A and B are shown apart, each in its own frame.
Chain A
Amino acid sequence: NAGVTQTPKFQVLKTGQSMTLQCAQDMNHEYMSWYRQDPGMGLRLIHYSVGAGITDQGEVPNGYNVSRSTTEDFPLRLLSAAPSQTSVYFCASSYGGSGGNTIYFGEGSWLTVV
């Protein structure tokens, strides 16, 4: 049981390049999400998914694209990288249902856009 796995851990991009951050979970969780964390800030929600084939926008979705073709995977695509997207990105997953469920986070992906 690996939990939530993110790759790559570190990446440097040039402005305008595109890339995909990978996220996979092996806990059969329905819900998956992507957050970004900037210096001195908490995490902000980018996109989320409530199940395969269903995605929606979070607080800061601009410049990012997601898809959810399987329960296990939830990749985050940067369409045309900008310096403002330099950040640490965290993928998270949890079971469905109401009443509160523990959310499990990956170890993070450090992205620098130059």
Chain B
Amino acid sequence: SQQGEEDPQALSIQEGENATMNCSYKTSINNLQWYRQNSGRGLAHLILIRSNEREKHSGRLRVTLDTSKKSSSLLITASRAADTASYFCATAGNSGGSNYKLTFGKGTLLTVNP
């Protein structure tokens, strides 16, 4: 079963706008990761946030994590057409050594219109 569930399933915005994607999960986690997938390509790691962290930044990306609500959000600021891709959240469990086994959500398809 899939632990992470992204919301919305699809998002269409104009270049320059901000894009926010949300992820909810069900069980306790060691960390949560966000990945990007361009059409027909592999997954590219964007950012990892550990369960004891609340916010992380990387360039135009901002990720928040609320473990009490079992949710995370990914914000992409000043979006570009090149940001068009599917974005997935993935959670890693807490049991010994399970942080390398990711459970993925179904993803959010982001389209940034020029």
Q: Do A and B come from one complex?
A: yes
Q: Which residues of A lie under 8 Å from residue B99 when comparing CB positions?
A: 97-101
Whole-angstrom distance between the Cβ of B91 and the nearest chain A Cβ? 11
Interface size class of A (residues with CB under 8 A): 20 to 34
Is A43 touching B31 in the complex (CB atoms < 8 A)?
A: no
**Which A-B residue pairs are the 6 nearest by beta carbons?**
A42-B104, A100-B31, A31-B100, A107-B42, A105-B43, A43-B104
Is B45 touching A42 in the complex (CB atoms < 8 A)?
A: no
Is B100 touching A94 in the complex (CB atoms < 8 A)?
A: yes
Is B102 touching A102 in the complex (CB atoms < 8 A)?
A: no
- Give B2's nearest chain A residue, CB to CB: A42
Q: How far is the CA of A35 from the CA of B90 in the complex (A)?
A: 13
Is B101 touching A100 in the complex (CB atoms < 8 A)?
A: no
Is A42 touching B42 in the complex (CB atoms < 8 A)?
A: no
